[in-house]
């Protein structure tokens, strides 16, 4: 196996009082050496906020009206090799790693997604760690830019939990969470699912769902 390393340097002029140059030039070096530097840059230069501002500003210029904004949050792992700061063994990924929380925005029916955050977390952090903080910074920006648009968020099962659901409902966010199969929840939900025997039953069910949505503030 070859362990070729591309030697390169990255210049950060505004990170501190003095110019910072990050050099990745050691033989057999792994890419995780820059992860802590990425965190420092994000804290100092507000890179995630800049990404979000750019995506929002672009769509304000290009589109006169946005009806639907979709937010996707997803964790990903960056394996580490050695004793770097914040690296821990993660049982789900079966490796020592950093966790990165990536966030994407999509507008209306566009296929393209726009990265708005990439947050470094410790390797043993929960998948949903930092999600509420990210959304608290993002949602006011979206409301100011697109006051008539409805926002929804899509998440995998790692983001389940009452504290997140309560936050989504308080913010009037539509949300879809890929929860694992749960027999107790299925038993509780089963009476709510039925196949209508007639158009009248279907109409009553539709009207009831719309009334409930309006009561909870989700009606359009």
Q: Mapping DSSP to helix (H, G, I), strand (E, B) and coil, where does residue 196 land?
A: coil
3 domain residue, yes or no: no
Give the model confidence (pLDDT) of 16-27 as tens digits: 566 555 555 555
Distance CA(90)–CA(197), nearest Å, equals 50
Spell out the per-residue pLDDT of the chain, length 220, in tens.
333 444 444 555 555 566 555 555 555 444 445 555 565 666 666 666 777 888 888 877 776 688 899 999 988 888 887 667 768 888 888 888 888 888 899 998 888 888 888 887 888 888 888 889 889 989 999 999 898 889 999 988 888 888 989 999 999 898 888 877 778 877 877 776 666 666 666 667 677 777 766 666 555 4
Strand 114-121 versus strand 95-107 pairing type: antiparallel
Bridge partners, 114 (sequence order): 105
- How many domains does one find in the chain? 1
Give the model confidence (pLDDT) of 78-129 as tens digits: 888 766 776 888 888 888 888 888 889 999 888 888 888 888 788 888 888 8
142 domain residue, yes or no: yes
12 domain residue, yes or no: no
Is the Cβ–Cβ distance between 37 and 122 less than 8 Å? Answer: no
Q: Mapping DSSP to helix (H, G, I), strand (E, B) and coil, where does residue 30 land?
A: coil
164 domain residue, yes or no: yes
Nearest CA to 7 among 23, 30, 31?
A: 23
Bridge partners, 151 (sequence order): 69
152 domain residue, yes or no: yes
Nearest CA to 216 among 168, 160, 151, 179?
A: 168
pTM of the model: 0.65
14 domain residue, yes or no: no
219 domain residue, yes or no: no
Q: Which residues form the domain of 58?
A: 46-211
Rg (CA), the chain: 22
For the CA atoms of 134, 148, 173, 144, what is the dihedral angle to 10 degrees? 20
38 domain residue, yes or no: no
A 10 A CB-CB count for 70 gives 19
């Amino acid at each position: 196996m070859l362990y070729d390393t591309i030697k390169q340097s990255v210049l950060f002029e505004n990170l501190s009082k003095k110019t910072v140059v990050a050099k990745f030039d050691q033989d057999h070096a792994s890419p995780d050496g820059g992860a802590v530097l990425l965190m420092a840059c994000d804290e100092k230069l507000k890179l995630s906020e800049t990404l979000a501002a750019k995506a929002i500003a672009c769509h304000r210029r290009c589109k006169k009206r946005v009806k639907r904004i979709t937010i996707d949050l997803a964790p990903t792992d960056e394996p580490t090799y050695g004793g770097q700061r914040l690296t821990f063994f993660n049982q789900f990924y079966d490796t020592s790693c950093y966790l990165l929380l990536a966030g994407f925005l999509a507008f209306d029916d566009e296929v393209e997604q726009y990265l708005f955050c990439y947050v470094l977390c410790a390797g043993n952090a929960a998948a949903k760690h930092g999600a509420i903080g990210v959304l608290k910074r993002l949602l006011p920006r979206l409301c100011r830019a697109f006051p008539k648009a409805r926002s929804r968020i899509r998440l995998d099962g790692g983001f389940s939990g009452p504290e997140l659901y309560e936050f989504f409902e308080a913010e009037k966010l539509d949300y879809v969470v890929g929860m694992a199969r749960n027999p107790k929840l299925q038993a509780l939900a089963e009476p709510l699912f039925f196949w209508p025997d007639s158009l009248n039953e279907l109409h009553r069910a539709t009207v009831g769902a719309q009334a409930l949505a309006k009561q909870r503030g989700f009606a359009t």
